[in-house]
A and B are shown apart, each in its own frame.
Chain A
Amino acid sequence: EPEVTQTPSHQVTQMGQEVILRCVPISNHLYFYWYRQILGQKVEFLVSFYNNEISEKSEIFDDQFSVERPDGSNFTLKIRSTKLEDSAMYFCASSSAGKAYEQYFGPGTRLTVT
């Protein structure tokens, strides 16, 4: 069964450094998403991406964040200058054009900012 994959599974970075989290969505999916879950808090929506542009973003997704689909298979989340409060589990998700309401999640990348 096709699934969303994410790399790395765990990333440790120093405050102020740039980090790129990578995702490979399910191959025929056209909608892509990033969510995050800070330890002890709810899963929060960050951004959705369709047709090479951001279709919706939350208040969390400020200028420090950017997303890109650099090729036909990868979807990335970049955090330009990480802060301690960016430490969280980041989940990528994708959905198909016909069923955009069915979002399938990857296993997550745990980001630790020290």
Chain B
Amino acid sequence: GEDVEQSLFLSVREGDSSVINCTYTDSSSTYLYWYKQEPGAGLQLLTYIFSNMDMKQDQRLTVLLNKKDKHLSLRIADTQTGDSAIYFCAEKMDSSYKLIFGSGTRLLVRP
């Protein structure tokens, strides 16, 4: 069935790069997303990638997609304390409206 998995926690030092990883099971996923959730806030759409791409860069964010391994990653360059949040990976198939979420990775940025 459909499933999205992420590691639960990542701690990095301010100024370093962060890499958050995600694996998914459904090879027919058409869109893959990264959402950010700060404490007390909703899910903020950070970026997404179409399944026919293998990389997307948007300022400090780089998304890498390995379709063969069904692996998605989000790299945050020059991580700041304001990047501390929970990051959710999600997938969506073209035939469906629903997003399927992972459990979220809590990123802690240490000064």
Q: Is the CB of B35 within 8 A of A105?
A: yes
B96 within 8 A of A: yes
Chain A interface SS verdict (over half): strand
Contact pick for A43, options B30, B31, B43, B92, CB 8 Å: B43
Alpha-carbon gap, A35 to B3, bound state (A): 16
Q: Among residues 69 to 108 in chain B, which have CB atoms less than 8 Å away from a CB atom of chain A?
A: 88, 90, 92, 96-104
* A41 and chain B: residue at smallest CB distance: B103
B contact residues around A35 at 8 Å (CB): 99
B contact residues around A18 at 8 Å (CB): none
* B102 and chain A: residue at smallest CB distance: A42
Alpha-carbon gap, A104 to B81, bound state (A): 24
Give the tally of cross-chain contacts (CB within 8 A): 51
Taking Cβ atoms with an 8 Å cutoff, the residues of B that contact A are: 4, 30-31, 35, 40-45, 48, 88, 90, 92, 96-104
Alpha-carbon gap, A100 to B92, bound state (A): 11
Alpha-carbon gap, A93 to B30, bound state (A): 19
Q: Among residues 51 to 93 in chain A, which have CB atoms less than 8 Å away from a CB atom of chain B?
A: 55-56, 58, 91, 93
Q: Is the CB of A102 within 8 A of B98?
A: no
Q: Is the CB of B97 within 8 A of A105?
A: no
Alpha-carbon gap, A85 to B96, bound state (A): 26
A22 → chain B closest CB, angstroms: 15
A: interface residue count bin:
20 to 34
Alpha-carbon gap, A107 to B38, bound state (A): 10
Q: Is the CB of B43 within 8 A of A48?
A: no
B contact residues around A44 at 8 Å (CB): 101
B contact residues around A55 at 8 Å (CB): 97
Q: Is the CB of A56 within 8 A of B45?
A: no
Q: Among residues 37 to 51 in chain A, which have CB atoms less than 8 Å away from a CB atom of chain B?
A: 42-45, 48
A contact residues around B4 at 8 Å (CB): 42
Knowing A43-B88, A101-B31, A101-B48 are in contact, say whether A4-B98 is a contact too (CB < 8 A). no
Q: Is the CB of B97 within 8 A of A106?
A: no
